Amino acid sequence: MRFQVYGFADRQEKRGEVLHTGAITAHGHPWKLGIYPRGITTPSTVSSRICSIYLCLDEYIECDESITTKFTIRTKTTSNSTKSDFTNKEWEIGCGWSNFSERDRLIRDDCDEDGTLVIDVDIEVATAKNPVWYPKTKGNNDIGSALYESPDFSDVTINAGRNGKEFKLHKCVLALGAKALCELVQNESIVDLPDVDALAFEEIMKFIYTGNKPDVSNNEERAISILLLADRFECNPLKLYIESVITEKLLKPSNAAALLLFADSHSCPLLKEACMEAYANDPQSVMESKDGWQNVVESNKILAELLTFATMGRKQYIPITTTGDLVESVNDMNITSLRERLDSANLDVDGSHKILVERWKQHLRKK
C-alpha cells in the first residue's frame, strides 16, 4: 500500500494532532495511516521534532474479534517492522511507532522535490483459512509396488523424455490409472514419448502402481509439470491431488495471476477459485506481480470473472451437516464444499463450479 502526504514540510499540526490519510483496502480490510507530524503527546519523552506514524484499521472491530498482522512502514530512508493484533482497542489509535523518525530528516531525505512524503506499507494478515479439499487416494499397494519394480509380465515399454528413460509397464494397470495413455499404447509394444518430462512421468507411474503421492509442496514448477502430464494422460486422481497441493501450499499473491490463467486453461476450478480469492483479498499485490497480470489484463473473459467474483460472486465454505442441504443454497457453495459432498456420495468431483453445482442439485432432487 502506498500513501502520499502532500506538502509534508508545511503541515501545521501541533504536537499531539493527527493527520489521517485516505484508506486503502488490503486483505479484505481498509487501512489508513495516522501521522503525527510533530509527535504524539504520549509517551511524554516524544519530542515535537519527532514524527509518529501508526497503521490504523478503518473499520470497527467487535470486542471478541482481532486481526493478526505483520507489517512494515517505510520511507526512503527509514523502515520499521512489527507484529500486532488489531482489536477494538486499537481501532482509533492504531499500531506503530511514537518515534518513527526525526521530522527534519523526513523533510530533508524522504520528501520529493514537490514536498510530498511517500510512505509504503507492506502488510500480511493471518486469517482463518477455509479447508482445502483433497481427493481420496489409495495407500501403498504392495502388489502394485512389486509389479512396478519388476519387468516380469510387462507388455509395453515406454521410453520417456529426450534421453528415453525406459519404463516397462502393464496395459491393464494403465487402463485403470491413465486411460488416455493406455489408448495411446494399446496396439504397441514399444512407445517413444520424447516430449514428456521423464521425472514427472515417473511420479505418475509410481502413483498409478503404488498410490504414493509426489511431494511437491515446495516446488511449483514440478507440481505444474506433473499436473499437466496427469491431465494429458487422464490420471484424474493425481491431477486433483496436485491441484489441491498448489492451492494450499504454493499459491501466493505474487503468483496468483499466473496461476489463475493456468487454472482456467487446464480445468482446475479449486485453484481458479483460490486465485480469485487472493485477488479479492489483496488486489494490489496481485496486480503488482511481474508474471501473469499483463496476460490477465489482456483477457476480457478473466477480467469479467474477477470483477464479478470480487463484487458479488464470492462463494462460501459450508461444512456438511446432518440436516442436509437445500437446493437453493448450493449456488453459494465454494468448490471445496461441493467436492466434499460429491465425494461423500461417490459422485464425480471433476468439472467447473457450474457443473459441480448442477451435479449436486440433481443428486438432492433424487432424494
pLDDT value of position 297: 92
The one-letter amino acid code at 329 reads S
pLDDT value of position 92: 61
DSSP 48-88: TTEEEEEEEESS---TT--EEEEEEEE-SS-EEEEEEEE-T
pLDDT value of position 366: 87
Q: What is the mean pLDDT of the chain?
A: 88
How large is the average pLDDT for residues 120-134? 78
Res. 367: pLDDT tops 80: no
Res. 223: pLDDT tops 80: yes
Res. 44: pLDDT tops 70: no
Band (338; pLDDT cuts 50, 70, 90): very high
Q: How far apart are the first and last CA of the chain?
A: 51
Contact 35, 81 (CB under 8 A): no
DSSP 224-291: HHHHHHHHHTT-HHHHHHHHHHIIIII--HHHHHHHHHHHHHTT-HHHHHHHHHHHHH-HHHHHT-SS
Instruction: Write the pLDDT tens digit of every residue in 156-201.
Output: 999 999 999 999 999 999 999 999 999 999 999 999 999 999 999 9
pLDDT value of position 226: 98
- Burial class (CB within 10 angstroms; exposed 0-12, middle 13-18, buried 19+) of 179: middle
Res. 46: pLDDT tops 80: no
pLDDT value of position 200: 97
Res. 64: pLDDT tops 60: no
pLDDT value of position 61: 58
pLDDT value of position 187: 92
Res. 145: pLDDT tops 90: no
Band (127; pLDDT cuts 50, 70, 90): low
Contact 226, 201 (CB under 8 A): no
How large is the average pLDDT for residues 259-279? 95
Contact 174, 204 (CB under 8 A): no
Res. 146: pLDDT tops 80: no
Higher pLDDT residue, 83 or 259? 259
Instruction: Write the pLDDT tens digit of every residue in 278-311.
Output: 998 888 889 988 768 999 999 999 999 999 998 8
Is 0.75 topped by the overall pTM? no
